[in-house]
Amino acid sequence: MKARPADQLLLIDLARLDGTIRAADTARRNPPQGARVTELVAQRQAQSAELTTLLGDRDDARAELARLESDVALVDARAARDTERLAATSNVKEAQGLEHELASLAARKSALEDAELEIMERLEAADAAVAAQEAVIAATNDEGARVSAEGKAAVAGATATWESATRDRAAIAERVPGDLLAVYDRIAARGVGAGLLRARTCGACHMVLSGTDLSSLRQAADDDVVTCPECGAILVRTAESGL
Protein backbone atom coordinates (compact mmCIF):
# COMPACT_ATOMS: atom_id res chain seq x y z
CA MET A 1 0.00 0.00 0.00
CA LYS A 2 1.15 3.52 -0.79
CA ALA A 3 0.62 6.75 1.17
CA ARG A 4 2.44 10.04 1.28
CA PRO A 5 4.94 10.29 4.18
CA ALA A 6 3.09 13.39 5.41
CA ASP A 7 -0.15 11.41 5.56
CA GLN A 8 1.58 8.56 7.34
CA LEU A 9 2.92 11.02 9.90
CA LEU A 10 -0.66 11.96 10.78
CA LEU A 11 -1.10 8.41 12.06
CA ILE A 12 1.28 9.15 14.91
CA ASP A 13 -1.09 11.87 16.12
CA LEU A 14 -3.98 9.45 15.76
CA ALA A 15 -2.14 6.79 17.78
CA ARG A 16 -1.30 9.29 20.50
CA LEU A 17 -4.91 10.44 20.70
CA ASP A 18 -6.21 6.89 20.62
CA GLY A 19 -3.99 6.11 23.61
CA THR A 20 -5.32 9.17 25.42
CA ILE A 21 -8.91 8.21 24.58
CA ARG A 22 -8.45 4.65 25.85
CA ALA A 23 -6.82 5.78 29.07
CA ALA A 24 -9.45 8.47 29.68
CA ASP A 25 -12.28 6.04 28.98
CA THR A 26 -10.84 3.56 31.47
CA ALA A 27 -10.37 6.31 34.04
CA ARG A 28 -13.91 7.61 33.73
CA ARG A 29 -15.42 4.11 33.91
CA ASN A 30 -13.16 2.90 36.70
CA PRO A 31 -11.82 5.84 38.70
CA PRO A 32 -8.96 4.92 41.06
CA GLN A 33 -11.15 5.88 44.02
CA GLY A 34 -13.76 3.25 43.13
CA ALA A 35 -12.06 0.39 44.97
CA ARG A 36 -11.69 2.46 48.13
CA VAL A 37 -15.34 3.52 47.99
CA THR A 38 -16.35 -0.15 47.79
CA GLU A 39 -14.10 -0.93 50.77
CA LEU A 40 -15.60 1.92 52.77
CA VAL A 41 -19.15 0.79 52.04
CA ALA A 42 -18.35 -2.69 53.35
CA GLN A 43 -16.49 -1.19 56.29
CA ARG A 44 -19.45 1.06 57.09
CA GLN A 45 -21.82 -1.92 57.05
CA ALA A 46 -19.60 -3.86 59.47
CA GLN A 47 -19.26 -0.84 61.73
CA SER A 48 -23.02 -0.28 61.72
CA ALA A 49 -23.59 -3.91 62.68
CA GLU A 50 -21.17 -3.49 65.57
CA LEU A 51 -22.93 -0.30 66.64
CA THR A 52 -26.27 -2.13 66.63
CA THR A 53 -24.79 -4.72 69.00
CA LEU A 54 -23.38 -2.02 71.28
CA LEU A 55 -26.69 -0.14 71.31
CA GLY A 56 -28.43 -3.38 72.28
CA ASP A 57 -26.00 -3.89 75.15
CA ARG A 58 -26.59 -0.32 76.32
CA ASP A 59 -30.36 -0.68 76.09
CA ASP A 60 -30.15 -3.89 78.14
CA ALA A 61 -28.12 -2.10 80.81
CA ARG A 62 -30.57 0.79 80.89
CA ALA A 63 -33.52 -1.57 81.20
CA GLU A 64 -31.82 -3.49 84.03
CA LEU A 65 -30.98 -0.24 85.83
CA ALA A 66 -34.58 0.93 85.51
CA ARG A 67 -35.78 -2.36 86.97
CA LEU A 68 -33.40 -2.05 89.91
CA GLU A 69 -34.46 1.55 90.53
CA SER A 70 -38.09 0.40 90.54
CA ASP A 71 -37.23 -2.35 93.03
CA VAL A 72 -35.46 0.17 95.28
CA ALA A 73 -38.48 2.45 95.13
CA LEU A 74 -40.72 -0.45 96.18
CA VAL A 75 -38.38 -1.31 99.07
CA ASP A 76 -38.35 2.35 100.18
CA ALA A 77 -42.14 2.52 100.05
CA ARG A 78 -42.44 -0.71 102.04
CA ALA A 79 -39.90 0.51 104.61
CA ALA A 80 -41.69 3.85 104.97
CA ARG A 81 -44.98 2.05 105.55
CA ASP A 82 -43.44 -0.31 108.13
CA THR A 83 -41.76 2.59 109.90
CA GLU A 84 -45.12 4.35 110.23
CA ARG A 85 -46.75 1.18 111.53
CA LEU A 86 -43.90 0.64 113.99
CA ALA A 87 -44.29 4.15 115.34
CA ALA A 88 -48.01 3.67 115.77
CA THR A 89 -48.11 0.17 117.27
CA SER A 90 -48.06 -0.72 120.97
CA ASN A 91 -48.03 -4.45 120.29
CA VAL A 92 -44.61 -5.84 121.21
CA LYS A 93 -44.88 -8.88 118.95
CA GLU A 94 -46.01 -6.77 116.01
CA ALA A 95 -43.21 -4.31 116.72
CA GLN A 96 -40.65 -7.11 116.68
CA GLY A 97 -42.02 -8.36 113.40
CA LEU A 98 -41.87 -4.90 111.85
CA GLU A 99 -38.31 -4.36 113.09
CA HIS A 100 -37.27 -7.69 111.58
CA GLU A 101 -38.90 -6.77 108.30
CA LEU A 102 -37.24 -3.35 108.28
CA ALA A 103 -33.87 -5.01 108.78
CA SER A 104 -34.58 -7.34 105.88
CA LEU A 105 -35.67 -4.41 103.72
CA ALA A 106 -32.48 -2.53 104.59
CA ALA A 107 -30.40 -5.53 103.56
CA ARG A 108 -32.42 -5.88 100.38
CA LYS A 109 -31.96 -2.20 99.58
CA SER A 110 -28.21 -2.45 100.18
CA ALA A 111 -27.98 -5.41 97.77
CA LEU A 112 -30.06 -3.55 95.16
CA GLU A 113 -27.90 -0.44 95.46
CA ASP A 114 -24.76 -2.53 95.04
CA ALA A 115 -26.30 -4.04 91.92
CA GLU A 116 -27.22 -0.54 90.76
CA LEU A 117 -23.62 0.61 91.08
CA GLU A 118 -22.45 -2.36 89.04
CA ILE A 119 -25.04 -1.72 86.34
CA MET A 120 -24.21 2.00 86.30
CA GLU A 121 -20.57 1.12 85.67
CA ARG A 122 -21.68 -1.21 82.87
CA LEU A 123 -23.88 1.53 81.45
CA GLU A 124 -21.05 4.05 81.58
CA ALA A 125 -18.80 1.64 79.69
CA ALA A 126 -21.61 0.93 77.20
CA ASP A 127 -22.14 4.67 76.62
CA ALA A 128 -18.41 5.09 76.00
CA ALA A 129 -18.36 2.15 73.59
CA VAL A 130 -21.31 3.53 71.65
CA ALA A 131 -19.72 6.99 71.47
CA ALA A 132 -16.42 5.50 70.28
CA GLN A 133 -18.15 3.42 67.61
CA GLU A 134 -20.17 6.43 66.45
CA ALA A 135 -16.89 8.35 66.12
CA VAL A 136 -15.43 5.51 64.05
CA ILE A 137 -18.50 5.55 61.77
CA ALA A 138 -18.31 9.33 61.47
CA ALA A 139 -14.67 9.06 60.39
CA THR A 140 -15.61 6.41 57.81
CA ASN A 141 -18.43 8.64 56.54
CA ASP A 142 -16.07 11.61 56.27
CA GLU A 143 -13.53 9.58 54.32
CA GLY A 144 -16.30 8.18 52.13
CA ALA A 145 -17.57 11.66 51.32
CA ARG A 146 -14.05 12.87 50.53
CA VAL A 147 -13.14 9.86 48.38
CA SER A 148 -16.49 10.00 46.56
CA ALA A 149 -15.94 13.68 45.78
CA GLU A 150 -12.45 12.90 44.51
CA GLY A 151 -13.87 10.10 42.40
CA LYS A 152 -16.51 12.37 40.86
CA ALA A 153 -13.85 14.97 40.10
CA ALA A 154 -11.63 12.30 38.52
CA VAL A 155 -14.52 11.06 36.37
CA ALA A 156 -15.35 14.60 35.30
CA GLY A 157 -11.70 15.28 34.40
CA ALA A 158 -11.35 12.00 32.50
CA THR A 159 -14.61 12.67 30.65
CA ALA A 160 -13.40 16.12 29.62
CA THR A 161 -10.12 14.62 28.40
CA TRP A 162 -11.97 11.90 26.50
CA GLU A 163 -14.28 14.40 24.81
CA SER A 164 -11.41 16.73 23.86
CA ALA A 165 -9.25 13.90 22.50
CA THR A 166 -12.20 12.46 20.58
CA ARG A 167 -12.83 15.82 18.90
CA ASP A 168 -9.15 16.21 18.05
CA ARG A 169 -9.00 12.68 16.66
CA ALA A 170 -11.99 13.29 14.41
CA ALA A 171 -10.35 16.43 13.04
CA ILE A 172 -7.11 14.61 12.24
CA ALA A 173 -8.86 11.53 10.86
CA GLU A 174 -10.57 13.76 8.27
CA ARG A 175 -7.14 14.63 6.89
CA VAL A 176 -6.01 11.00 6.50
CA PRO A 177 -6.79 9.27 3.17
CA GLY A 178 -9.65 6.83 3.57
CA ASP A 179 -7.76 3.69 2.57
CA LEU A 180 -4.86 4.50 4.92
CA LEU A 181 -7.26 5.27 7.75
CA ALA A 182 -9.05 1.98 7.22
CA VAL A 183 -5.78 0.05 7.51
CA TYR A 184 -4.80 2.01 10.59
CA ASP A 185 -8.18 1.49 12.28
CA ARG A 186 -8.03 -2.24 11.61
CA ILE A 187 -4.62 -2.49 13.27
CA ALA A 188 -5.57 -0.13 16.11
CA ALA A 189 -8.58 -2.28 16.94
CA ARG A 190 -6.22 -4.90 18.39
CA GLY A 191 -3.43 -2.68 19.74
CA VAL A 192 -1.37 0.40 18.95
CA GLY A 193 -2.07 1.38 15.36
CA ALA A 194 1.12 3.21 14.46
CA GLY A 195 4.49 4.15 15.89
CA LEU A 196 7.51 6.18 14.89
CA LEU A 197 10.58 4.23 13.91
CA ARG A 198 13.26 6.07 15.87
CA ALA A 199 16.85 4.89 16.36
CA ARG A 200 15.85 1.51 14.93
CA THR A 201 13.21 1.10 17.64
CA CYS A 202 9.47 0.73 17.06
CA GLY A 203 7.57 3.45 18.91
CA ALA A 204 4.52 1.21 19.27
CA CYS A 205 6.05 -1.84 20.98
CA HIS A 206 9.48 -0.33 21.85
CA MET A 207 11.31 -3.32 20.34
CA VAL A 208 14.66 -2.81 18.59
CA LEU A 209 14.40 -4.17 15.08
CA SER A 210 16.82 -6.78 13.84
CA GLY A 211 19.37 -6.11 11.16
CA THR A 212 17.40 -8.19 8.67
CA ASP A 213 14.20 -6.24 9.32
CA LEU A 214 16.05 -2.94 9.03
CA SER A 215 17.55 -4.05 5.74
CA SER A 216 14.07 -4.74 4.39
CA LEU A 217 12.88 -1.33 5.51
CA ARG A 218 15.79 0.39 3.77
CA GLN A 219 14.64 -1.11 0.51
CA ALA A 220 11.06 0.20 0.91
CA ALA A 221 10.08 3.40 -0.87
CA ASP A 222 9.26 6.48 1.20
CA ASP A 223 5.58 6.19 0.33
CA ASP A 224 5.35 2.46 1.10
CA VAL A 225 3.22 1.72 4.17
CA VAL A 226 5.27 -0.70 6.25
CA THR A 227 4.50 -2.46 9.52
CA CYS A 228 6.53 -3.53 12.52
CA PRO A 229 7.51 -7.21 12.27
CA GLU A 230 7.13 -7.48 16.05
CA CYS A 231 3.73 -5.91 16.81
CA GLY A 232 2.17 -5.24 13.41
CA ALA A 233 1.78 -1.48 13.92
CA ILE A 234 2.34 0.85 10.99
CA LEU A 235 5.94 2.06 11.14
CA VAL A 236 6.25 5.73 10.29
CA ARG A 237 9.76 6.49 9.06
CA THR A 238 11.53 9.82 9.47
CA ALA A 239 15.11 11.10 9.38
CA GLU A 240 15.43 9.84 12.98
CA SER A 241 14.64 6.25 12.09
CA GLY A 242 18.26 5.18 11.86
CA LEU A 243 17.95 3.65 8.41
CATH annotation of 29-157: 1.10.287.1490
**C-beta separation of 54 from 129 below 8 A:** yes
Number of H helices, E strands in the chain: 5, 4
Q: What pTM, to 2 d.p., does this model score?
A: 0.69
Which contacts (CB < 8 Å, 24+ apart) does range 69-76 have? 69/116, 71/112, 72/109, 72/112, 72/113, 72/116, 75/105, 75/108, 75/109, 75/112, 76/109
- Mean pLDDT of all residues belonging to the chain: 94
Percent of the chain whose pLDDT exceeds 90? 86
Amino acid at 218: R
Distant-in-sequence, close-in-space partners of 132: CB < 8 Å, separation ≥ 6: none
pLDDT category at 239 given cuts 50, 70, 90 is confident
pLDDT in tens, 54-65: 999 999 999 999
**Residues in CB range of 69: below 8 A, 6 or more apart:** 116
Q: What is the per-residue pLDDT for 127?
A: 97
Q: Where are the domains of the chain?
A: 5-26+174-237, 29-157
- Residue 131 pLDDT: 97
Q: How large is the average pLDDT for residues 116-143? A: 97
Q: Could you report the per-residue pLDDT of 3-18, keeping only the tens digit for each?
A: 999 999 999 999 999 9
